Amino acid sequence: MDNLSWLASLIKSRNTIDGKIADLIGRSAQINHVGEYIAASIFNIAFEEEGKRRGYDGRFLQGPLAGRTVDVQWRLRHDGLLNIRLDAYPDYYLILTGLENTSSTLANPWSIAFAFLFNAQELLNALKERGVQIGSGTSVTGPLWERAEIYPIPRNTRFVLSDEERKMLFLFNQ
């Protein structure tokens, strides 16, 4: 019974925190909604109204990608997987991930250890060349991830983060 009481207390605390997050971001406290809020704040992305967009979340407002569409995904673990729709895809995928799946823990902390920017057309071409099944949970090889990395190591020179953007991402690193 003690464990059940403790669990009930923890769930109440979580519900309180989720409510505060939802109030802050103006949407439910789901991982992708929070990720979109973080991305909009750091990368200056304007998100379009749900239901009015197809295959993307919003557009970059400034910099070298201004006006380009982007799909933002926040994955709790850097597990090599992406969700890709073939019927409608963005110009870019911005992927935020936690650490690689090397831990034996059952917990999946909400953290951002890496950020990646994929050109969607180039990514799709590379996946098709390899004969990869494309859809929800598409497996992307390590070299593609490495070339797309913008944080913490700026390997992708198409989008170089400012010191301020790097500091903001670091706030979410576990």
DSSP class of residue 63 equals G
- The Cα diameter of the chain in Å comes to 58
Judged against a pLDDT cut of 80, whether residue 29 lies above it is answered with yes
* Amino acid identity at 112: I
pLDDT on residue 45 = 96
**Dihedral angle, C-alpha 61, 120, 85, 33, nearest 10 °:** -40
Are 113 and 173 a contacting pair, CB within 8 Å? yes
Q: How far apart are CA 137 and CA 19, in angstroms?
A: 29
pLDDT digits (tens, 9 = 90+) for 10-23: 999 999 999 999 99
pLDDT on residue 174 = 73
How many residues belong to the chain? 174
The dihedral region occupied by 103, where left means phi > 0, alpha psi between -120 and 50, and beta the remainder, is beta
Question: pLDDT category, 50, cuts 50, 70, 90?
Answer: low
pLDDT digits (tens, 9 = 90+) for 131-170: 999 989 999 999 999 999 999 999 999 899 999 999 999 9
Q: How far apart are CA 135 and CA 87, in angstroms?
A: 10
pLDDT digits (tens, 9 = 90+) for 55-96: 899 999 999 999 999 999 999 999 999 999 888 889 999 999
* Amino acid identity at 81: L
pLDDT on residue 82 = 94
pLDDT digits (tens, 9 = 90+) for 94-129: 999 999 865 556 778 999 999 999 999 999 999 999
pLDDT on residue 67 = 96
pLDDT on residue 52 = 61
Is the Cα dihedral 61, 124, 75, 31 positive or negative?
A: positive
Q: How far apart are CA 167 and CA 174, in angstroms?
A: 13
